[in-house]
């Protein structure tokens, strides 16, 4: 089960708005960090390395 689904199953129905806000906030921070990391890799290692790393991570995530 994806991590978000686990989080949603453990929320309290009485505070669903707060739980959703926290989930979206953490998602935004992780997305920004990933974007910054990807930009750094592309700038310092080149786009060929960037795409190679992306392919390797995609293959690992598919397992």
Question: What is the spatial distance between Cα 48 and Cα 4, in angstroms, rounded to a whole number?
Answer: 32
- Please answer whether residues 42 and 50 qualify as being in contact, where contact means their C-beta atoms are separated by less than 8 angstroms: yes
pTM of the model: 0.60
Q: 17-62, pLDDT tens digit by residue? A: 787 888 889 999 999 999 999 999 999 999 999 999 999 999 999 9
pLDDT of the residue at 44: 94
């Amino acid at each position: 089960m994806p991590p978000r689904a686990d989080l949603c199953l453990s929320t309290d129905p009485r505070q669903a708005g707060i739980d959703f806000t926290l989930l979206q906030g953490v998602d935004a921070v992780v997305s920004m960090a990933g974007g910054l990391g990807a930009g750094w890799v592309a700038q310092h290692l080149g786009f060929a390395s960037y795409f190679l790393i992306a392919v390797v991570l995609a293959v690992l995530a598919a397992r």
